[in-house]
C-alpha cells in the first residue's frame, strides 16, 4: 500500500503541470447564481434550465453519457411559491428574504386584519392546533422548531384532513435561513424579523401568500463520464448537487452561489482534467437535483443506479467550495480511516489546504445514501468565513474562492490515488 502510494505521489508532480485558476469556476458560479436561473428550484422549471446548462458543459468538455442520455429523471413532490407574495405590516410592504421568510411547507393564505400578540410559552398544544391566528413573541427557536416538526409529522400522516388552516407569525432575532419542503402542511407560517414590530401599537397585517404544491414534479440528475482506459466498469465518482431553494414569491430568489454553484464549478473543473487525462478506471460526474428538499436526487440514483454501486471504488461528494481559508472538512473521514490517511498525506506533502478536519458519518448531503449502501465515500465542504447560508445574500460576488485551487488539486490527486495501479 505504502509503496503504491509513494509511486503515485511521484506521478502526481508530473500531472500537476498547469496551475488551475479560478476564472472558469467564477464564470460557472456567475451563471448558475444569476437571476436567470431563479435559484435553481422548481418554479418556472429553473431546475431543468440548470440541468441543461450542466449537460451542455459535460458535452463540451467531452464527457460521455452513461446511459445514452446525460439525464436521469427524478420524480418527487415539492411545495413552491411561484406567484406574487405580499406581507404588509401597518401599511408597510415587507421585503421577502430580508424582513421575513415563509416556512417552506406553508399553505396559501390570505389575511387582512389586526393580529394579537401571544407569548408562545403560554400556549398549550391544543391552542396551537385549534385557534386561528397567533403572533408569537419571545420564542426560543428550538422550542418553536420542535413544535413545528411535530405539526409537520402529524400533517404528513393525515395528508387529507379537514383541520382548519392556520396562520402563525413567529418573531425572531435570528438570521433568516430558508429551506425546501417535499410536503405542504395545513399552516402558513411566517418567520418575521423581530425588530420590525412595534409592540406599543396594534399590528395590522395584510397577507397574501400563494403556495403551489406539486405532487408529481419531474426533475433530473445530470450524469456524464470519462470511460476508463482499461476497466470501464469500475468507477471513481464525483458528485455535487446543483439545485438550490428557488423562488419565494415571483420577485425573490435564493442565488445559492456557495451552495452549491461552487461545487458544480469544482466538478466541471475536475471533468476538464479527467477528460484530458483519462484513467484506468472510468471517472463519473453526477450533478444531483433535490438535495435541499431532502437528498432526493441521490436517493433516486441509489435506488436506480446507472452502474452497479459495488463498482464504485470511491465517491467524492462536494459542496460549499466558496471559501477554503481554514481548510476542508472530510465527512466519513473517521469511517474510511485508511483513505483519509492517504488524503491527509497528499495534502501535507503538497500544502494544498491549511488542514483537513475529520468527521464521522453524517446524513447532511448526497453521499449519505451511497455510504449506507456500503460505497466508500467522503463528503467535502470547505471551511472559512462566509456568513451567507440559505439566504438571499449567497451571491457570486460574495464568494471569495480562497483555496479553491488547493481543493481542486487535492480532489484530483486523491481520486487518482484511489484507482489501483
How far is it, in rounded angstroms, from Cα 166 to Cα 188? 6
* Closer residue to Zn ion, CB minimum distance, 254 or 314: 254
Smallest distance, Zn ion to C-beta of residue 260, A: 4
Smallest distance, Zn ion to C-beta of residue 291, A: 6
Residues 177 to 206 in contact with Zn ion, rule: CB under 5 A = none
**Whether residue 24 has a cis bond before it, omega within 30° of 0:** no
Smallest distance, Zn ion to C-beta of residue 199, A: 37
Smallest distance, Zn ion to C-beta of residue 349, A: 30
Q: Which of 376, 24, 75, 79 is nearest to 221 (CA)?
A: 75
Beta-sheet strand order (sheet of 281-288): 71-80, 212-226, 281-288, 231-241, 312-319, 377-382, 328-331, 356-359
Residues 291 to 350 in contact with Zn ion, rule: CB under 5 A = 319
Who's near 3: CB < 8 A, 6+ residues apart?
A: none
The CA dihedral of 294, 296, 298, 303, to the nearest 10 degrees, is 130
* Closer residue to Zn ion, CB minimum distance, 32 or 209: 32
How far is it, in rounded angstroms, from Cα 89 to Cα 97? 15
* Closer residue to Zn ion, CB minimum distance, 264 or 375: 264
* Closer residue to Zn ion, CB minimum distance, 124 or 385: 385
* Closer residue to Zn ion, CB minimum distance, 47 or 259: 259
Smallest distance, Zn ion to C-beta of residue 259, A: 4
Taking CB under 5 A as the binding criterion, the range among 133-141, 200-208, 258-266, 271-279 that sits at the site for Zn ion is: 258-266
Smallest distance, Zn ion to C-beta of residue 295, A: 10
* Residues paired with residue 351 on neighbouring β-strands, in sequence order: none
Beta strands in 227-345 (DSSP E): 231-241, 246-247, 253-254, 281-288, 312-319, 328-331
Smallest distance, Zn ion to C-beta of residue 193, A: 24
260 touches Zn ion (CB under 5 A): yes
Count CB atoms within 10 A of the CB of residue 174.
9
* Closer residue to Zn ion, CB minimum distance, 187 or 332: 332
Pinpoint the alpha helices (H) of 33-107. 46-61
How far is it, in rounded angstroms, from Cα 188 to Cα 210? 10
Contacts 24+ apart (CB under 8 A), 31-34: 31/261, 32/242, 32/256, 32/257, 32/261, 32/264, 33/255, 33/256, 33/257, 33/261, 33/394, 33/395, 33/396, 34/255, 34/396
259 touches Zn ion (CB under 5 A): yes
Smallest distance, Zn ion to C-beta of residue 158, A: 31
* Closer residue to Zn ion, CB minimum distance, 22 or 364: 364
Taking CB under 5 A as the binding criterion, the range among 174-182, 227-235, 257-265, 383-391 that sits at the site for Zn ion is: 257-265
Taking CB under 5 A as the binding criterion, the range among 45-53, 107-115, 255-263, 387-395 that sits at the site for Zn ion is: 255-263
How far is it, in rounded angstroms, from Cα 147 to Cα 374? 35
* Closer residue to Zn ion, CB minimum distance, 269 or 319: 319
Taking CB under 5 A as the binding criterion, the range among 88-96, 121-129, 181-189, 254-262 that sits at the site for Zn ion is: 254-262
Taking CB under 5 A as the binding criterion, the range among 81-89, 134-142, 170-178, 253-261 that sits at the site for Zn ion is: 253-261
First to last CA, the chain: 11
394 touches Zn ion (CB under 5 A): no
Smallest distance, Zn ion to C-beta of residue 223, A: 18
* Closer residue to Zn ion, CB minimum distance, 259 or 299: 259
How far is it, in rounded angstroms, from Cα 206 to Cα 84? 13
Q: How far is CA 248 from the centre of its chain?
A: 16
How far is it, in rounded angstroms, from Cα 118 to Cα 189? 15
How far is it, in rounded angstroms, from Cα 117 to Cα 366? 41
Smallest distance, Zn ion to C-beta of residue 364, A: 9
269 touches Zn ion (CB under 5 A): no
Please give the backbone phi and psi of residue 347, each rounded to the nearest 5 degrees, phi first: -65, -45
* Closer residue to Zn ion, CB minimum distance, 47 or 319: 319
> Widest CA span of the chain, in angstroms?
75
Smallest distance, Zn ion to C-beta of residue 359, A: 16
* Closer residue to Zn ion, CB minimum distance, 103 or 319: 319
Question: Residues touching Zn ion: how many (CB under 5 A)?
Answer: 3
Give the footprint of Zn ion on this chain (CB under 5 A): 259-260, 319
Amino acid at each position: 500500500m505504502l509503496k503504491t502510494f509513494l509511486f503515485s505521489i511521484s506521478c502526481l508532480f508530473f500531472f500537476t503541470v498547469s496551475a488551475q485558476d479560478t476564472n472558469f469556476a467564477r464564470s460557472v458560479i456567475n451563471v448558475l447564481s444569476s437571476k436567470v436561473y431563479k435559484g435553481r428550484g422548481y418554479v418556472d422549471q429553473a431546475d431543468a434550465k440548470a440541468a441543461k446548462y450542466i449537460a451542455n458543459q459535460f458535452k463540451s468538455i467531452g464527457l460521455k453519457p452513461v446511459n445514452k442520455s446525460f439525464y436521469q429523471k427524478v420524480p418527487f413532490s415539492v411545495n413552491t411559491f411561484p406567484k406574487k407574495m405580499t406581507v404588509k405590516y401597518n401599511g408597510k410592504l415587507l421585503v421577502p428574504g430580508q424582513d421575513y421568510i415563509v416556512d417552506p411547507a406553508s399553505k396559501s393564505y390570505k389575511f387582512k386584519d389586526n393580529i394579537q400578540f401571544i407569548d408562545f410559552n403560554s400556549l398549550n398544544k391544543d391552542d396551537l392546533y385549534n385557534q386561528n391566528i397567533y403572533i408569537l413573541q419571545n420564542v426560543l427557536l428550538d422550542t418553536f422548531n420542535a413544535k413545528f416538526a411535530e405539526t409537520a409529522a402529524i400533517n404528513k400522516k393525515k395528508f387529507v384532513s379537514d383541520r382548519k388552516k392556520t396562520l402563525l407569525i413567529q418573531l425572531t432575532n435570528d438570521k433568516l435561513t430558508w429551506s425546501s419542503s417535499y410536503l405542504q402542511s395545513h399552516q402558513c407560517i411566517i418567520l418575521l424579523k423581530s425588530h420590525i414590530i412595534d409592540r406599543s401599537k396594534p399590528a395590522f397585517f395584510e397577507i397574501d401568500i400563494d403556495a403551489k404544491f406539486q405532487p408529481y414534479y419531474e426533475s433530473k440528475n445530470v450524469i456524464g463520464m470519462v470511460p476508463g482506459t482499461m476497466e470501464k466498469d469500475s468507477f471513481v465518482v464525483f458528485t455535487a448537487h446543483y439545485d438550490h431553494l428557488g423562488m419565494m414569491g415571483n420577485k425573490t430568489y435564493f442565488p445559492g452561489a456557495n451552495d452549491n454553484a461552487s461545487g458544480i464549478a469544482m466538478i466541471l473543473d475536475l471533468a476538464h482534467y479527467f477528460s484530458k487525462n483519462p484513467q484506468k478506471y472510468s471517472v463519473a460526474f453526477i450533478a444531483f437535483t433535490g438535495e435541499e428538499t431532502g437528498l432526493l436526487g441521490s436517493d433516486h440514483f441509489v435506488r436506480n443506479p446507472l452502474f452497479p454501486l459495488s463498482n464504485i471504488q470511491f465517491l467524492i461528494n462536494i459542496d460549499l467550495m466558496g471559501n477554503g481559508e481554514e481548510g476542508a472538512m472530510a465527512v466519513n473521514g473517521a469511517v474510511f480511516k485508511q483513505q483519509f490517511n492517504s488524503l491527509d498525506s497528499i495534502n501535507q506533502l503538497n500544502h494544498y489546504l491549511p488542514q483537513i478536519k475529520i468527521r464521522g458519518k453524517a446524513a447532511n448531503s448526497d453521499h449519505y445514501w451511497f455510504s449506507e449502501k456500503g460505497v466508500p465515500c467522503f463528503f467535502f465542504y470547505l471551511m472559512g468565513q462566509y456568513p451567507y447560508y440559505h439566504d438571499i445574500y449567497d451571491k457570486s460576488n460574495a464568494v471569495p474562492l480562497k483555496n479553491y485551487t488547493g481543493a481542486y488539486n487535492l480532489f484530483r490527486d486523491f481520486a487518482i490515488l484511489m484507482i489501483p495501479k
